[in-house]
Structures are given as structure tokens and as C-alpha cells.
Amino acid sequence: MAGQRRSPTQVDVARRAGVSQATVSLVISGGALGNQVAESTRQAVLQAAAELGYTVNAVARSLKGGRNRMLGLYTFEPVFPVDQRDFYFPFLLGVEEATAAYGYDLLLFSSAGSGGDRRIYAGGVNRLKVADGCVLLGRHLHRDDLAELAKEDFPFVFVGRREVPGVELSYVAADYVGATSEMVAHLARLGHRRLAYLKVTDDREWTRDREAGFRQGLVAAGIPDDQVRVFAMDERAALSAVRLQDWLAAGITAVLVEPTDDDSAIVALENAAAEAGVRIPDDVSVAVLGDPPLSEATARDWTRFTLPREQMGREAVRILLELLNDNVSARQLYLDCTQVAGDSVTELPE
Amino acid sequence: MAGQRRSPTQVDVARRAGVSQATVSLVISGGALGNQVAESTRQAVLQAAAELGYTVNAVARSLKGGRNRMLGLYTFEPVFPVDQRDFYFPFLLGVEEATAAYGYDLLLFSSAGSGGDRRIYAGGVNRLKVADGCVLLGRHLHRDDLAELAKEDFPFVFVGRREVPGVELSYVAADYVGATSEMVAHLARLGHRRLAYLKVTDDREWTRDREAGFRQGLVAAGIPDDQVRVFAMDERAALSAVRLQDWLAAGITAVLVEPTDDDSAIVALENAAAEAGVRIPDDVSVAVLGDPPLSEATARDWTRFTLPREQMGREAVRILLELLNDNVSARQLYLDCTQVAGDSVTELPE
DNA sequence: CTGAAAGCGCTTACAG
DNA sequence: CTGAAAGCGCTTACAG
């Protein structure tokens, strides 16, 4: 078994077909140039290649700058570990589906390591280049990795809006601004005109976008700033029952919660409510600005919006191929979220 | 945009550090050889590399090494379409996990087409060879593709037992023989000594293995052949209510069902039982020989055994790397299934 | 301890 | 229409 026989190269094929290696290259992967080859020569080469079981070496081709019909998927967090699966899997599905539809293969850069902190340039090596281009995914990215990638002019598209100073990135993002603004409108229509906004302090694109949408929604609904409370939560400042009661005393009737990558913000709110003896939605309405994975405890039909995750994956691939084939510059795409009515928001009596 | 500036190479670093390119290679990735370099030289190189933002080009490195550090995953059926996800996803998880653990990347051959009938040798070329080796998956394989692959000496491992005449394949399989035999023993312990065996006619490895396990279990339990009914189901011969009643009249107390890739066999049995007014498990016990995806209708806690799917995926990768690195010949591995008590089998009163 | 050189398998101008 | 040649960025004997 296992002759460990090195696989045939174009030189081998050339020898067998009685032509030069360059000619073999031309017929195997010449594209337009391949048409210059005489039909008889082409047949001889193809036959020799088939007889030897020749396949082109993707690495050599990449090195030279050729294409491999391979798209990469790089994630800054491991996609497969149990707690992240539900969140990331739909993106993966979308990416895989579109990749297949366009006739490409999908390279999962799992070698980056299963540890939490993944780097594109781990050990000073950029693996990504074996692929023709790459879809990037994950919240805990490294901006300098992205800057470096962009500097190298390697085609990539991020799933989710990402800003890197001085670099114009391509991405496919959920329209958090619109979805949040729409949520405010929804609440306003139900009579809620005094709102609290519970956010995480982490100053990230999605945090800023939602807050911008919130402000925009306030303006559209004609709700003045003094009717609003904004509270930023972090490790040191959790939401207390006292604060929640303060809000209610001040006339707040609805809370908008920005979820992080888990349901901790929601849990915090529920705990505060339980402690304060406040019922949802009877005493206060709650709208969740997204659809994070929920643990057993928080599993209820929250009023929320969902991200078009599979579609985001698909569109990222589509844009990546545009970057690749049409030589266009960076592109940004926003996709609509879907509002889900849920049962954590109720109409306010006049 | 697009500085089009190519990223720095070892030549650039060498120039800046005033040494040769070979020396740069030695300190960047020399391994043991790297220790020969004088400390001052090494520092100069490292500094120059840092200043230029040099990163090793993994593609060039692989070319020289002959390996890609890429493992492939090829599936004869699409893995991602909705109806197959639950069944195939755990295999994928296992494969991905192990691939990552060993520091390889995983290439999903999605380009094969999303159609049902996938071929390895599409267009006469074996695309799989872009990877160092490949894990294969799927029930509806093409034996000649496998034979051809083996002939090419390309390293691959099948998930599931597969036989191809004249070829010794590597695979990681569930031990259907043991699991089925154990199920018979379980039934016998509960007093069932007259059994019916409902199988699909399709003459495949897993069908034969389960039947072998059944026979083996009968012998071990001392159940003679004349206490047993075997019925092979196909499109033309479904299980009828009449036949089921015949069985009960003949004293049969338990039925073993071989599921196909869906729950159709189970559905057939349930329908026959419903029509005949036979209750499960009160009137007849039912054991399912596997854990197929169940539709809503059949979702109950069947007495069954489950395949160690993730583990199968992991082990397939491990064996593939043995094939790759240790130059060993074909290997077969059987993994234990897990018996699940369920509620579709009941003890027989003395 | 360091450098010159060959070569991994390909693509792509450039001659003929 | 085809071939000779350069070069992609690296690693690794081999000299010195």
C-alpha cells in the first residue's frame, strides 16, 4: 500500500504527451490563452493528464498568482464549540451555500487554533492567501490584522460592519440602525413615550449603530431626550433593582436592551425585575435589540428583531466574488432585520 | 484604495538587515538550524522583519514542503441541505474539531455541485488532490470513484464501513454488529424470545452488518430460527397491518427495525400498528437499530442505539493523518454505539 | 556562522 | 501554434 509516490506534475504530463510543460499549463489552466492550442495537441495533453491522474497543485498555482476556485472562511472565534454553534452556524450555512452555488470550494481556516484568541498572522504566517479570497467572521477581531490584510490587497469581506481607521473595508452587515429605530417606532405606536435604553459599554460598531438607531427613532417619534434614560452596563455597573424602580417612578414604561453575544444583559434585566417585583410586560415592556442565543432561563418569546444570518453569509460570498472578478473597490451592504412581535411588549392604556 | 503594494518578502528583509535571504529564512523559520545563526545577526533580521511588517507566505512555504496542511472533506450527498443537516452535522463537527486540533485547515468540497449525484472525478480530474488527504462521507457513493482513488494512492478515510472489491479501504465505522446483537440480548433479558426483524432490501454494508448482529444475538440468546420472522421492506412491499397481526398471532412480542437514512421504516411500522389497533409497547415492543433523524410524527423516545458520530469524524481525521505521515497501509476502526433505553420496549410478563 | 544556488510546481510574457 | 525562460517566495543541502 501507500507508495507515497509523489503525484505527477505538468512536467510528467508534458513528457508523456511529447510537448513542453508550458503547453500543458496552457491547456490545463490557460483560460482564454488555452484556445490558442491546436486541438490535436490539446487532446494529447488531456489524455496524458488523465492517464497519469494529474491534478494541478493548488499551492503552486497560488504562489504564482493564479486562482484556485477556493474561498476561505476565517473566524476570529471558534465557530464549532458548543456555546457558539447556534449563533455562528447560520452564517456558515449561508457562506457554504453560496460558495457551492458559485462552484467554489470552501476552506475553513481551522488551523488558526481552537483557542479563544485567533490571529490571522499567527506566528507571522498568513495562511489566508491559499484561498482566492476570504470571508471573515467574529466579534473579537484584531484591527491590525485587518489593516495588514487590506494593505496586502487580499480580497476579503467581513460579515458584520467593521471599521478600521484609514482603511475602507468590505462588509455585509445587519441594519442595526434601521431595526432599532423601527423598534422605537413600534413602542411609540403602542403608547410608550418614556423609554430606558440598556446598553453595554463596549464601544463597538454594533453598539454604536443601535444607539444611533435609538436616537433616530426618538426623533422620528417626537420623543424628547428628557423622557429617556440610558444606562451603560459593564462588569462593575450591573443593573440594580433600585435603578429599575427609579425608572418606573420616573414614568418609564419600556426598556430596550442591547444583547451582547450571550443573554447576560437580558438575564441582568430579568433579575433586577424579579428582585423589584416588577412583571414583564405587565409593569414594564421589554424589547430586545437582536436575537442572541438564549439559555433555558431566559427562553421566552421576547419582542425583538432577528438578523438575516444565512443571507448575510450568502451576500458576503457574492460580494467577495465581485471583488475578485470585477476588480471593484470595497463594498458595503446592509440587510434588513426582521421584527418579531413576541410577548414582552404590551400596549399602554391611554 | 488598493495600495497594490505587495507585501515584503525575505529578500526585502535581507536587504534591510544587510544579510542574505537564506539567513533570513534560517532565523524566521529555521527551527533547529536557526540556532546556528549568530545572536547579533538574528537580532538584526528580527528587527528588520518587524520594521517591514514581514509575514511568512504560507503558500510558498507549502510549495517547498510538498504538503498543504489541508485536509479535504468530500460528501457524496450535500451535507447542508435542511433535511440532512441533523444527520451529517455531528460528523462534520468531529472532522472539523480534529482537523483544527492537528493544526490543519479543512477544505469542504462544495463545488462538486449541490445536486444529489456527486462525483469525485468530475470532468476527469480529481479535485480532491488539492488537499493532502481526504475524509469521505455519504451513503450514495460511487464504488468506481473509490476504486480509482485508491488506485491513485491518494490517502483517504471513509466515515462508515465501505467495501469495494479488490481494494482495501480505510474507514471508521459504527459497530452495527455489536450494537444490534446487544439489542437482541436486551430484548431477550426482558423476556422477548419471539422476534420480528424489519429490514430494508437495499443490500448495503450497514444492512448486512445489522442483520449479522441480529443473527449473532439470536445464537447468543439461544433463540432458534423458527422463533423469528424477517421481513424486507421496499417500495413494492410495505409492512401491512395484516402482516403485523400475523406476527402477533404467531407469538411475536418484539420488532427490531432497521432505519434507513430517514424515519420511513419507523413510520411504516407505526402506521401498520395504528391500523391494526396495536399499541407500542403495550402490545408489541419496538427497538430501533440506530438513531435516524425523526420527523415530528415519529418523535418519541424510541428504544434504540446511537452512533458516536462526532467521535467517528475525529477518528477518521486521526487515521487519515496516520496514513499521511506514518506511511501505514489501510486501516479499519470500529467504534461502539450507545444503547438508549427509551420507552418503546417493555418487559414481558412471565 | 553565512551565502550562493537549486528547486518546489506552476503561470505568463516573450520569441520564434 | 509551441517552447524556452523567468519568476512567484520560500527551504535546505552544500560550500566556504
* Lowest mean per-residue pLDDT among A218-227, A253-262, B67-76: B67-76
Percentage of the residues of chain A whose pLDDT score is greater than 70: 92
Cα–Cα distance measured from residue B349 to residue B338, given in angstroms and rounded to the nearest whole number: 26
A-chain residues near B322 (CB < 8 A): none
- Using the structure, give the distance in angstroms from the CA atom of B228 to the C1' atom of C12, rounded to a whole number: 72
Cα–Cα distance measured from residue B91 to residue B76, given in angstroms and rounded to the nearest whole number: 14
Specify the higher pLDDT residue, B126 or A349. Answer: A349
Average pLDDT score, chain B = 86
* Lowest mean per-residue pLDDT among A196-200, B129-133, B283-287: B129-133
Bases on strand C under 7 Å from any protein CB: 1-5, 7-13
Contact criterion met (CB < 8 Å) for A126 and B56: yes
Average pLDDT over residues B94-108: 90
Residue A112's pLDDT band, with cuts at 50, 70 and 90, is: low
Determine phi and psi for B319, rounding to 5 degrees: -65, -35
Contact criterion met (CB < 8 Å) for B111 and A104: yes
* Lowest mean per-residue pLDDT among A70-74, B4-8, B144-148, B286-290: B4-8
* A2: pLDDT strictly greater than 50: no
* B2: pLDDT strictly greater than 80: no
Residue A246's pLDDT band, with cuts at 50, 70 and 90, is: very high
* Lowest mean per-residue pLDDT among A22-26, A79-83, B15-19, B173-177: A79-83
3-state secondary structure of A77: coil
**Amino acid identity for residue A180 in this structure:** T
Q: Is A157 exposed, middle or buried (0-12, 13-18, 19+ CB in 10 A)?
A: buried
Extract the C-alpha cell encoding B64: 517547498
- Using the structure, give the distance in angstroms from the CA atom of A54 to the C1' atom of C16, rounded to a whole number: 29
- Using the structure, give the distance in angstroms from the CA atom of A28 to the C1' atom of C8, rounded to a whole number: 19
Average pLDDT over residues B295-311: 92
Residue B169's pLDDT band, with cuts at 50, 70 and 90, is: very high
Helix orientation angle between A264-276 and A241-249, rounded to the nearest 10 degrees: 70
Residue A258's pLDDT band, with cuts at 50, 70 and 90, is: very high
* B4: pLDDT strictly greater than 50: no
Average pLDDT over residues B210-223: 96
Q: What is the pLDDT of residues A64-73, one digit of tens each?
A: 766 778 899 9
Average pLDDT over residues A232-260: 90
| Shortest distance, CA B289 to any CA of chain A (angstroms) | 27
Q: What is the pLDDT of residues A162-201, one digit of tens each?
A: 999 888 999 999 999 999 999 999 999 999 999 999 998 8
Q: Can you list the domains of chain B with their CATH numbers? A: 10-65 (1.10.260.40), 70-174+310-338 (3.40.50.2300), 176-306 (3.40.50.2300)
Q: Is the peptide bond before A281 cis (omega within 30 degrees of 0)?
A: yes
- Cβ-contact B332, B173 below 8 angstroms: yes
Q: What is the DSSP string of B267-332?
A: HHHHHHHHHHT--TTTT-EEEESS-----GGG-S--EEEE--HHHHHHHHHHHHHHHHHS-----E
Determine phi and psi for A266, rounding to 5 degrees: -65, -45
* A93: pLDDT strictly greater than 60: yes
Check CB contact of A101 with chain B, cutoff 8 Å: yes
Residue A3's pLDDT band, with cuts at 50, 70 and 90, is: very low
Cα–Cα distance measured from residue A298 to residue B19, given in angstroms and rounded to the nearest whole number: 62
Residue B126's pLDDT band, with cuts at 50, 70 and 90, is: low
**HSE-up (13 A, CA, CB side) for residue A227:** 15
* Nearest in space to A291 (alpha carbons), one of A318, A312, A263: A263
Residues near B189 by beta carbon (within 8 Å), at least 6 away in sequence: none
* B149: pLDDT strictly greater than 50: yes
B-chain residues near A53 (CB < 8 A): 126, 152
Q: What is the pLDDT of residues A319-342, one digit of tens each?
A: 999 998 877 889 999 999 999 999
Chain B: residue nearest A125 by CA?
B56
Q: What is the pLDDT of residues B41-62, one digit of tens each?
A: 888 888 888 888 777 777 777 7
Cα–Cα distance measured from residue B296 to residue A4, given in angstroms and rounded to the nearest whole number: 49
| Residue closest to C2 C1′ by Cα | B23
| Shortest distance, CA B65 to any CA of chain A (angstroms) | 10
- Using the structure, give the distance in angstroms from the CA atom of B148 to the C1' atom of D4, rounded to a whole number: 36
Query: Which sign does the torsion angle of CA B93, B98, B101, B105 carry?
Result: negative
Average pLDDT over residues B198-207: 88
3-state secondary structure of B80: coil
- The vertex-A339 CA angle with A336 and A343, nearest 5°, equals 165
Q: Long-range contacts: A324-332, Cβ < 8 Å, 24+?
A: A324/A67, A324/A132, A324/A133, A324/A155, A329/A168, A329/B1, A329/B2, A330/A168, A330/A169, A330/A170, A330/B1, A331/A157, A331/A170, A332/A161, A332/A169, A332/A170, A332/A171, A332/A172, A332/A173
| Shortest distance, CA B89 to any CA of chain A (angstroms) | 10
Question: In chain B, which among 157-176 make CB contacts under 8 A with chain A?
Answer: 168
Average pLDDT score, chain A = 87
Percentage of the residues of chain B whose pLDDT score is greater than 70: 91
User: Strand D: which of residues 60-89 in chain B lie with Cβ below 7 A?
Assistant: 60-61, 63-65
